[in-house]
Structure 1
Amino acid sequence: MHRDDFVARFGGVFEHSPFIAERAFDAGAEIPLTAQSVHAVMCDTFRAASAAERIGVLRAHPDLAGKLAIAGGLTQDSKAEQASAGLDRLSADEHARFTALNTAYVEKFGFPFIIAVKGLTKDDILAAFETRIDNSVDQEFETATAQVEKIARLRLQSMLPGEDNV
């Protein structure tokens, strides 16, 4: 596969951060196109990025049930992921709670709350939100980056059906 094709196919795996796919391709020589192999090289690339670049990847993620969702500005992946957890069908009270938590979280940590929502309900997400907001900045950076990698794994598994699971 050519570099441009690889980036076109996998550039959105890490939200709005195609540089991860570009560098992964450059570092991976002959990357077998399996969810596991692509995930491994992309995560290695993400971990090797500068702190500012990793923060940029975190900041590229949308708020859960936030303004972009309401305005229809989410990527297709984010839209489907949030809808799978019912975040597109919140009551006014639930939406107000998410908005308040999103605001407090970003003020404290400097990036949006990130969680791999697949298999979770809106109640599961709210509970995690309310727990994680008490984390230290270092703890939450580690948790958020792990969640970004989990989201990438889930996206790759859906893109490479029938391949090995990570």
Structure 2
Amino acid sequence: MISRDDFVGRFGGVFEHSPFIAERAYDAGAIAEPLTFGGVHAALARVFRAASEAERLGVLQAHPDLAGRLAIAGELTEDSRKEQAGAGLDRLSPEEHARFTELNAAYVTKFGFPFIIAVKGLGKADILAAFETRIGNGRDTEFATAAAQVEKIALLRLQSMLPEA
């Protein structure tokens, strides 16, 4: 059986900067070998959903702005950097960057957490369209949408780390 330290070391960052999720899943006995992305995701997602609203908000707030200051400064996690680059967010025109910056600021002001979307398979235009639509949501709807996107990001990360069976 994989040790707690090894499990948390390997999967503690699947939910951005939130190792408590991997710790709780392991401590609850929810981790079974062989490790598969589906099994690990189910265990981690259960913990995320059972966390307090404040803890889930903390997970949302741990995510970086899309094409934001951390990306410019080169301070994204490796997973976030790859995900944003895959969607072309590292190659924005000055006008596109200005629009992302404007939307990021408005979104965080309105909701208290950054805009979160699983960018795999999306392009800049898709992401901007979703951003512009979702900023019109109410907070409860957007909190639920962002939480679902966090779970999707975690699944995509796990799929790159583990086999299904």
TM-score (norm. length: structure 2)? 0.97
Counterpart residue number, 1:38: 40
Aligned residue in 2 for 1:8: 9
Aligned residue in 1 for 2:64: 62
Once superposed, what is the RMSD of the aligned Cα atoms? 0.8
Partner of 1:21: 22
User: Identity of aligned pairs, percent?
Assistant: 75
1:151 corresponds, among 147, 150, 153, to 153
Matches of residues 1-166 of structure 1 in structure 2 within 5 Å? 1-32=2-33, 33-160=35-162, 162-164=163-165
CA contact (8 A) 2:31 2:39 kept: no
- Decide whether the 8 Å contact of 1:85 with 1:122 is kept in 2: yes
Question: SS state of the match for residue 38, structure 2?
Answer: helix
Which letter does structure 2 place at the counterpart of 1:123? A
Q: Which amino acid aligns with 1:119?
A: G
Q: In structure 1, what is the Cα distance between the partners aligned to 2:88 and 2:71?
A: 12
**Aligned partners of 2:89 and 2:126: how far apart in 1?**
11
Asked if the contact 1:28–1:41 (Cα under 8 Å) also holds between the matched residues in 2, the reply is no
Q: Tell me the CA shift for residue 144 of structure 1.
A: 0.1
Equivalents in 2 of 1:155, 1:99: separation in Å? 26
Contact 1:25 1:31 in 2 (8 A): no
Distance 2:164 2:144 in 1: 28
Query: Measured at CA, do residues 26 and 104 of structure 1 come closer, stay the same or move farther in structure 2, by a change above 3 Å?
Result: same
1:29 is displaced (CA, Å) by 4.6
Secondary structure of 2:28's counterpart equals: helix
Shift of 1:163: 2.2
Unaligned runs of 5+ in 2: none
- CA 1:71–1:30: 2 relative to 1, 3 Å: closer
Letter in 2 for 1:31: A
1:31 Cα deviation (Å)? 1.9
Equivalent residues, number: 163
Task: Return structure 1 stretches of 4+ with deviation > 6 angstroms.
Answer: none
Give me the whole-angstrom Cα distance separating, in 2, the residues matched to 1:84 and 1:29.
Answer: 32
Evaluate the alpha carbon distance shift between residue 26 and residue 100 of structure 1 in structure 2; reply closer, same or farther with a 3 A threshold.
same
